[in-house]
Amino acid sequence: MQIEAADTVVNISPQKLVDALNDARKSAKIVRLTYVSDSCDGIVRVKYGRSFIYKRGVKRLPIVKHFPVSAAW
Protein backbone atom coordinates (compact mmCIF):
# COMPACT_ATOMS: atom_id res chain seq x y z
CA MET A 1 0.00 0.00 0.00
CA GLN A 2 1.25 3.52 -0.77
CA ILE A 3 0.63 6.59 1.34
CA GLU A 4 1.50 10.07 0.14
CA ALA A 5 3.32 12.07 2.80
CA ALA A 6 3.92 15.62 1.59
CA ASP A 7 5.73 15.08 -1.72
CA THR A 8 6.96 11.61 -0.83
CA VAL A 9 5.26 8.27 -1.38
CA VAL A 10 5.69 5.87 1.54
CA ASN A 11 5.38 2.13 0.98
CA ILE A 12 3.89 0.35 3.98
CA SER A 13 2.46 -3.10 4.54
CA PRO A 14 -1.22 -3.36 5.42
CA GLN A 15 -0.36 -4.82 8.85
CA LYS A 16 1.93 -1.88 9.70
CA LEU A 17 -0.81 0.51 8.59
CA VAL A 18 -3.33 -1.15 10.92
CA ASP A 19 -0.80 -1.00 13.78
CA ALA A 20 -0.12 2.67 13.07
CA LEU A 21 -3.80 3.59 13.17
CA ASN A 22 -3.84 2.73 16.87
CA ASP A 23 -0.48 4.29 17.76
CA ALA A 24 0.15 8.02 17.34
CA ARG A 25 3.95 7.62 17.50
CA LYS A 26 3.98 5.03 14.71
CA SER A 27 1.59 7.13 12.60
CA ALA A 28 3.81 10.19 12.90
CA LYS A 29 6.94 8.21 12.05
CA ILE A 30 5.39 6.74 8.89
CA VAL A 31 4.66 10.18 7.45
CA ARG A 32 7.97 11.58 8.70
CA LEU A 33 6.60 13.83 11.45
CA THR A 34 7.91 14.26 14.97
CA TYR A 35 5.52 13.01 17.62
CA VAL A 36 5.19 15.36 20.59
CA SER A 37 3.01 14.61 23.59
CA ASP A 38 1.06 17.37 25.28
CA SER A 39 2.84 16.40 28.50
CA CYS A 40 6.11 17.82 27.08
CA ASP A 41 6.99 21.48 26.81
CA GLY A 42 6.61 22.73 23.27
CA ILE A 43 7.34 25.91 21.36
CA VAL A 44 5.90 29.08 22.89
CA ARG A 45 5.19 32.27 20.97
CA VAL A 46 5.97 35.38 23.06
CA LYS A 47 5.09 38.98 22.19
CA TYR A 48 8.31 40.94 21.62
CA GLY A 49 7.77 44.62 20.73
CA ARG A 50 5.55 44.72 17.65
CA SER A 51 6.30 41.12 16.67
CA PHE A 52 6.81 37.74 18.31
CA ILE A 53 9.71 35.50 19.25
CA TYR A 54 9.56 31.75 19.67
CA LYS A 55 11.00 29.86 22.63
CA ARG A 56 11.43 26.25 23.66
CA GLY A 57 11.93 26.28 27.41
CA VAL A 58 14.29 29.20 28.12
CA LYS A 59 16.07 28.91 24.77
CA ARG A 60 15.12 31.42 22.09
CA LEU A 61 14.64 29.81 18.69
CA PRO A 62 15.83 31.29 15.41
CA ILE A 63 13.30 33.28 13.41
CA VAL A 64 10.36 31.10 12.45
CA LYS A 65 8.65 32.26 9.28
CA HIS A 66 6.30 29.34 8.64
CA PHE A 67 4.75 26.65 10.79
CA PRO A 68 3.13 23.64 9.09
CA VAL A 69 0.14 24.05 11.45
CA SER A 70 -1.31 27.43 12.25
CA ALA A 71 -0.87 28.92 15.71
CA ALA A 72 -4.62 28.60 16.35
CA TRP A 73 -4.20 24.83 16.72
**Are 51 and 30 in the same domain?**
no
**Counted domains in the chain:** 2
**Are 16 and 45 in the same domain?**
no
**Are 18 and 45 in the same domain?**
no
Using CA atoms, how far apart are residues 26 and 66, in angstroms rounded to an integer?
Answer: 25
**Are 29 and 59 in the same domain?**
no
DSSP the chain: -EEEETTEEEE--HHHHHHHHT-HHHHHHHTT-----TTS--EEEEEETTEEEEEETTEEPPP----SS-TT-
pLDDT band at residue 65 using 50, 70 and 90 as cut-offs: low
* Model confidence pLDDT, tens digit, residues 2-47: 555 555 566 777 887 777 788 888 888 877 788 877 777 777 888 9
Q: What is the pLDDT of residue 23?
A: 86
**Are 30 and 59 in the same domain?**
no
Q: What is the Cα gyration radius of the chain?
A: 16
Q: Report pTM.
A: 0.42
**Are 28 and 2 in the same domain?**
yes
Full residue range of the structural domain in which residue 11 is found: 1-35
**Are 27 and 52 in the same domain?**
no
